[in-house]
Structure 1
Amino acid sequence: MEIASQHGKIVILNPAPSLKLPDSLLKNITFITPNETELAQLTGIEVTTEENIRSACRLLLDKGVGTVVVTLGSKGSFYMNHEESGWVQALRVDTIDTTGAGDAFNGALTVALCRGESLRSSIVFATKVAAYVVTQMGAQPLIPESILK
């Protein structure tokens, strides 16, 4: 991560399973994508309210993380960096299996960011892909082309 950061590369970390991360690592992360449990473990802040979520995100930003995207399951996701913050609603779907949803979210977020989409648009796309994945059984469903556009 340090080498990638030194060369101006984007570093995206999905901190699962969550461990306490040293500040020397956090300062090299461009995007971190914890769920609410991982965010609490990373920051020591119980994330039961919106204000606590914001406080936990601010703590990571103060330690050098560029952008925090917190996935909150059926509550959607919250994102924050030094320029913007906001909520992206979850899509209401008939959930069959949540296996792989976080990985699908992170993969889709990365794809959208690499396409040059805005942060919010990238999260909306990632939400759409993860919502489709939870409607299928298993960790690696074939995602239709129509979802990926």
Structure 2
Amino acid sequence: MNIHTSSRPKITVVGSANVDLTFRTPRLPIPGETFAGHSLHQGMGGKGANQAVVAARLGAEVAFVARVGNDGFATQAIDAYQADGINTTFIRHSDDQPTGTAAILVDDEAENCIIVVAGANAELTADDVRSAKAIITESDVVICQLETPVEAALEAFKLARAANVLTMLTPAPAELVTDELLSLCDVCVPNKTEIAAITGCGVETEADCVTAAEKLRQRGVRQVALTMGEEGVLVLDETGMSLIPATQVKAVDTTGAGDAFTGALAVSLAEGMSLASAASRAGIVAAISVTRVGTQTSFPSLEEINRWNQAEQTG
């Protein structure tokens, strides 16, 4: 793989860009119910954009391949990406679809439910991805998710695999995962719900989770990092299985934690870490993110991670 250990990691993210409208509520409503919420927060989201922002804040050189509308949300999103140092050259505008939007409800127990309108995300094409071929083939890691058409992810992984670039997949929504995509995936980062849907395995016990991860490997995935919330992360590769404990924190808002983990995992792997070490570091990034409200606003910088590590060592 094209792993650069002496310079900034190079990450290309192909995926979704959303504007997030986060509603804080005492509890999640039931059908037909109306009640007062605590607050409304507007921020940037989308799994692709989230992962790009995390990687950029951890010091990577990041390019983002995406689609947005021709609207005010698009302007705000691109301005925010550029403020984080992300290369937005390959973000294209759709004339007939709005920028993707998510309505996120978060209750006092930090549980959430989310409604997403894909908008321009649904128009990301293989041609859009091919326009970024030069930067994809120069990357250390290419990350995809499935909030944009699977054809875009397939093209990104084909270009990356041909250039010996590490491919990483967040398999969400899980129902869009194909065998062809898995066969081109070096690192798959599912949660328990997603891996159960993809493999048909139960995930009640640790042994169940290992079986499910092994089934992903049998379908062509080289490495699996199964995120399990407070239970930690189960990693499986050619060297065997490890269970990485979760960093214990008081969660305020878990929105985007999986993307924080994935973006951090990509940077750590690009820096030459083993899968287990990379998962441990990524778990810290995700843990810090859940102690704050919002999605991209909750993602820590490299300086914050360094301070966290120093505090842990001295504490």
8 Å Cα contact 2:183-2:220 kept in structure 1? yes
C-alpha separation in 2, matches of 1:99 and 1:17:
16
Q: Which one has a larger percent strand, Structure 1 or Structure 2?
A: 2
C-alpha separation in 1, matches of 2:299 and 2:167:
27
Aligned-pair Cα RMSD in Å: 1.4
In structure 2, the partner of 1:143 is 300
In structure 1, the partner of 2:186 is 30
In structure 1, the partner of 2:269 is 113
8 Å Cα contact 2:288-2:299 kept in structure 1? no
C-alpha separation in 2, matches of 1:6 and 1:25:
14
Match of 2:212 among 56, 68, 74: 56
Report deviation, 1:143. Answer: 1.4
In structure 2, the partner of 1:71 is 227
Aligned length: 149
In structure 2, the partner of 1:102 is 258
8 Å Cα contact 1:71-1:77 kept in structure 2? yes
C-alpha separation in 1, matches of 2:289 and 2:178:
32
In structure 2, the partner of 1:134 is 290
- Could you give the per-residue CA deviations for residues 11-50 of structure 1, whole angstroms, max 9, x where no partner exists? 1001122225222221110000000000000101111111
Task: Answer with 1 or 2: which has the greater Rg.
Answer: 2
Letter of the structure 1 residue corresponding to residue 267 of structure 2: V
8 Å Cα contact 2:174-2:198 kept in structure 1? yes
C-alpha separation in 2, matches of 1:45 and 1:14:
18
Letter of the structure 2 residue corresponding to residue 102 of structure 1: G
Report deviation, 1:142. Answer: 5.0
In structure 2, the partner of 1:87 is 243
C-alpha separation in 1, matches of 2:268 and 2:216:
23
TM-score (norm 1): 0.94
8 Å Cα contact 1:105-1:127 kept in structure 2? yes
Question: Structure 1 residue runs of 4+, over 4 Å off?
Answer: none
TM-score (norm 2): 0.46
- Give the share of equivalent positions with the same residue, in percent: 38
8 Å Cα contact 2:285-2:299 kept in structure 1? no
Letter of the structure 1 residue corresponding to residue 224 of structure 2: V
